[in-house]
Amino acid sequence: MKKLISAFIVTLLMAGTVSAETIKWEGREFYAKNVHASIVKLNGEEVLKVERNLKVFPFDINRLSETVDEPTYVKLKDFEFSDGIFEVKVLARVQQPTPFPASQGFIGIHYRVNADDSAFESIYLRPNVGRADNQASRNHAVQYFAYPGYKFDRLRKESNGLYETYADIGLDEWITMRIHVKGERAELYLNNAKYPSFIVNKMKGTSASGGIGLFVDIGTEGYFKDFKIISSMHPKLKGGA
């Protein structure tokens, strides 16, 4: 009997570990996928803080490609779109102490996230290299990838420079990300720029529609505010949202 009770308790603990927590923020509800999420005060205003949960989803520097560019985000509940425009302000810091010395403050947005989090598109930032003292590093400040088949390392190897670019961004500063998604094309506008800072002419994802997730990766202390869905077209409603 004691063994059965112990096994039951262990099962409950494991279930609690893998279950997704939910959080309400800016009038919307999100669920946390492989991250810790909380509402905190930053410089006097309430913002959403997100950090990767290493207990649920460990990082392995010897298996870098398999343990980065993954579903580590808070995902907006009960929302699905195919094409649209959305915006959020992001601020990144490198965690101290950091679990990954090469962390660049990885923060951004996953979109067209399918129902089981197994496929999506993403554009994220590496603010720590935006003002590096060499151009090669600066050219990695913005990154696109498609999960699961086209992570940053494959795209860099097969299409060097096509799916990442330079941007004048830095750590510990608010950066506005506005993403326009239409068909196979995505455009990123930074800090209310009139013209896109980054264009993905042909996305590589397998998910034609889905949700939106606010993403951080290894070694990042990420903050979000002013999340807006400016327009969206539901895949089943041709007239839009």
Residue range(s) defining the domain that contains residue 86? 25-233
Backbone angles phi, psi at 171, to 5 degrees: -70, 155
On the CB side of 117, CA atoms within 13 Å amount to 17
- What per-residue confidence (pLDDT) applies to 5? 37
- What per-residue confidence (pLDDT) applies to 13? 34
- What per-residue confidence (pLDDT) applies to 8? 34
Residue 179, in any domain of the structure: yes
Q: Output the tens digit of pLDDT for each of the chain's 241 residues.
A: 444 333 333 333 333 333 458 999 999 999 999 999 999 999 999 999 999 999 999 999 999 999 999 999 999 999 999 999 999 999 999 999 999 999 999 999 999 999 999 999 999 999 999 999 999 999 999 999 999 999 999 999 999 899 999 999 999 999 999 999 999 999 999 998 999 999 999 999 999 999 999 999 999 999 999 999 999 998 765 444 4
Residue 139, in any domain of the structure: yes
How many structural domains does the chain have? 1
Residue 18, in any domain of the structure: no
Residue 176: count of CB within 10 angstroms of its CB: 14
User: 73: closest CA among 16, 17, 40, 120?
Assistant: 120
Residue 15, in any domain of the structure: no
The CATH number of the domain where 79 resides is what?
Answer: 2.60.120.560
Spatial separation of the C-alpha atoms in residues 175 and 181, rounded to whole Å? 19
- What per-residue confidence (pLDDT) applies to 237? 53
Residue 17, in any domain of the structure: no
E strands present in 45-192: 45-52, 73-76, 83-94, 107-113, 120-125, 142-147, 164-165, 175-182, 185-190
Residues 6+ apart with CB under 8 A from 120: 71, 110, 111, 112, 113, 114, 146, 147, 205, 207, 210, 213
Residue 204, in any domain of the structure: yes
First to last CA, the chain: 55
**pTM confidence score:** 0.89
Q: Are the beta carbons of 58 and 113 closer than 8 angstroms? A: no
Residue 65, in any domain of the structure: yes
The one-letter amino acid at 76: L
Residue 239, in any domain of the structure: no
